[in-house]
Chains A and B, each alone.
Chain A
Amino acid sequence: AQSVAQPEDQVNVAEGNPLTVKCTYSVSGNPYLFWYVQYPNRGLQFLLKYITGDNLVKGSYGFEAEFNKSQTSFHLKKPSALVSDSALYFCAVRDAYQGGKLIFGQGTELSVKP
């Protein structure tokens, strides 16, 4: 069965510092990996995805993610955090068939302090 783990419930970063939100996955077959962000009282917003190709994926709002097949990881990164990046971040893997559901990790709350 496909699964995703986010080992940290919370990540605290100072504004201007780099941030990393960790995600590891377990899939049979090729992984289709996604990051979503959830701001308070809002829905999930798509940030970026890895399907194939370059291991470094760039997404919205200056975020990027590094796919590492040997470590089965897909960590979300940003070189310089903003206070407005504070939100709940979800990693997800998609079932590899048409219309496949997303399987989410438990989420990581990112807090960026001024």
Chain B
Amino acid sequence: EPEVTQTPSHQVTQMGQEVILRCVPISNHLYFYWYRQILGQKVEFLVSFYNNEISEKSEIFDDQFSVERPDGSNFTLKIRSTKLEDSAMYFCASSGTSDIYNEQFFGPGTRLTVL
């Protein structure tokens, strides 16, 4: 069964450093998302991406964040200058066709720890 994959599973970085989180969505999917989950809190939407551009972004997704689909398979989230409060589990998700009823499929997550 196809699945969303994410690398690395755990990333430790120093405050102020740049990090890139990588995701490989399900191959025929068209819509891509990033969510995050701070420890003990709910899953929060960051950004959605379709047709090589951002469809929607949340207030969390400020200028320090960017997303890219550099080739036909990868979908990346870059945090330019990490802060302590960026420590969280970051989930990538994808969904299929333009059918709004489709569920989103989530990857296993990348745990980001900012020291």
Contacts of B107 in A (CB 8 A): 43
What's the interface size class on B, roughly?
Answer: 20 to 34
Number of interchain pairs (Cβ within 8 Å):
65
Instruction: Indicate if B56 sits at the interface (CB-CB under 8 A).
Output: yes
Q: Give the residues from 30 to 80 in chain A that come closer than 8 angstroms, CB to CB, to chain B.
A: 32, 34, 36, 41-46, 49, 51
A112 CA / B43 CA spacing, docked (Å)? 23
Q: Give the residues from 83 to 114 in chain A that come closer than 8 angstroms, CB to CB, to chain B.
A: 90, 94, 96-107
**B11-19, B75-83, B95-103 - interface stretch:** B95-103
A90 CA / B45 CA spacing, docked (Å)? 14
A98 CA / B33 CA spacing, docked (Å)? 13
Interface contact A49-B101, CB-CB below 8 Å: yes
Number of interface residues of A (CB under 8 A): 25
A102 CA / B4 CA spacing, docked (Å)? 17
Contacts of B58 in A (CB 8 A): 101
Interface contact A98-B101, CB-CB below 8 Å: no
CB distance from A48 to the nearest CB of B (A): 9
Contacts of B56 in A (CB 8 A): 99, 101
Which residue in chain B gives the minimum CB-CB distance to A103?
B45
Binary A-proximity of B79-115 (CB < 8 A = 1, otherwise 0): 0000000000001010100101101111111000000
A105 CA / B42 CA spacing, docked (Å)? 7
Seen from chain A, the residues whose Cβ lies within 8 Å of a Cβ on chain B are 32, 34, 36, 41-46, 49, 51, 90, 94, 96-107
Seen from chain B, the residues whose Cβ lies within 8 Å of a Cβ on chain A are 4, 6, 31, 33, 35, 41-45, 48, 50, 55-56, 58, 91, 93, 95, 98, 100-101, 103-109
**22 CB < 8 A contacts A-B:** A32-B100, A34-B103, A43-B6, A43-B107, A43-B108, A44-B43, A46-B104, A46-B105, A49-B103, A51-B101, A94-B100, A99-B48, A99-B100, A100-B100, A101-B48, A101-B56, A102-B43, A102-B45, A102-B104, A104-B44, A105-B42, A106-B41
